[in-house]
Amino acid sequence: MTATKPSPTTEDRRQRKARQTRDALATAACDLILERGSAATTVEAIAERADVTRRTFSRHFAGKEDAALDFVRRDGDRINALLRSRPAEEPPLLAYRRAVRDWLADDRDPAWHVRPRMRRLLALADTEPGLFAAYQRIRVDAQEESIRIVAARLGSDDARDVRPAAVVDAAAGVLIAALRLWARGGEGDSGAADLAALVERAYDALTSEAAAATPDSTTIEE
């Protein structure tokens, strides 16, 4: 007897349900950590707030910090998708910068960083060890994928060619610096427009400093 394959509609429904469950858990984790602090927040409390079982939580996340910072992972995935779609003739640093610009300018699906209370969570990730460690793991995963994308654009091997890692580490570092500065600004600032403008200024600073540091404009001491 041949098993009946699920229809595309059934698969789509399952995917939507899984996405909704994951989003509910991420929202619950974020809310509870901001309300109680990370140390006082348990996985069981997150699952209860999201109205799912502890087992369901474990199918989606390794821990409470990963759940609370799931928006960071999703935004990293979106930046990488936009980076892949940039014109092949664009220099990698410019392609990364424009991918970030397009991510921040997307009004249909706003970057999670500009949603209410995300600034507080990002600021907390600087001081709370568990959140900081989770943030760093997520950031490194996203950058490793960016490096592979840039290497493919350059037609090079990222294990031998330093350019993909150098470009991505510099470009992502600028974004992280801007996000940290923005997160410390408090909830009363202008949100998305404020962050986008700050990111652009940060990239301008990088390119300006890089141009000033070229070998023919810098005296190198032997």
- Tens of pLDDT, residues 64-103: 999 999 999 999 999 999 999 999 999 999 999 999 999 9
What pLDDT is stored for residue 175 in this prediction?
Answer: 93
Give the pLDDT mean for 132-158: 95
Is the predicted pLDDT of residue 173 greater than 60, yes or no? yes
Spell out the residues 6+ positions from residue 212 whose beta carbon is closer than 8 angstroms to its own. 218
- What pLDDT was estimated at residue 115? 74
**Residue matched to tokens 């927040």:** 41
**Is the whole model's pTM more than 0.75, yes or no?**
yes
pLDDT score of 10 more than 80: no
- d(CA 12, CA 204) in angstroms, rounded, equals 42
What are the Cα distances from residue 200, in Å, to 94, 121, 145, 184? Answer: 12, 23, 23, 18
Phi, psi values for residue 79, rounded to 5°: -60, -45
Rounded to an integer, what is the distance from CA 219 to the centroid of its chain?
38
Rg of the chain over Cα atoms, rounded to whole angstroms, equals: 20
Single-letter amino acid, residue 168? V
pLDDT score of 186: 55
Q: Can you read off the two tokens belonging to residue 81?
A: 């998708």
Nearest one of 110, 108, 27 to 70, comparing CA atoms: 27
| pLDDT > 50? residue 220 | no
Q: Quote the mean pLDDT of the chain.
A: 87
Percent of the chain residues topping a pLDDT of 70: 88
Q: DSSP label at 5?
A: P
* Position 129 confidence tier, pLDDT thresholds 50, 70, 90: very high
Q: Which two tokens stand for residue 199?
A: 């990111």
46: left (phi over 0), alpha (psi -120 to 50) or beta: alpha
- Residue 183 pLDDT: 83
Cβ atoms of 165 and 92 closer than 8 Å = no
Position 3 pLDDT exceeds 60: no
Torsion region of 180: left, alpha or beta (phi above 0 gives left; psi -120 to 50 gives alpha): alpha
186 versus 49: the higher-pLDDT residue is 49
Q: Which of 104-118, 122-136, 142-156 has the highest mean pLDDT?
A: 142-156
Q: Which two tokens stand for residue 161?
A: 């060619």
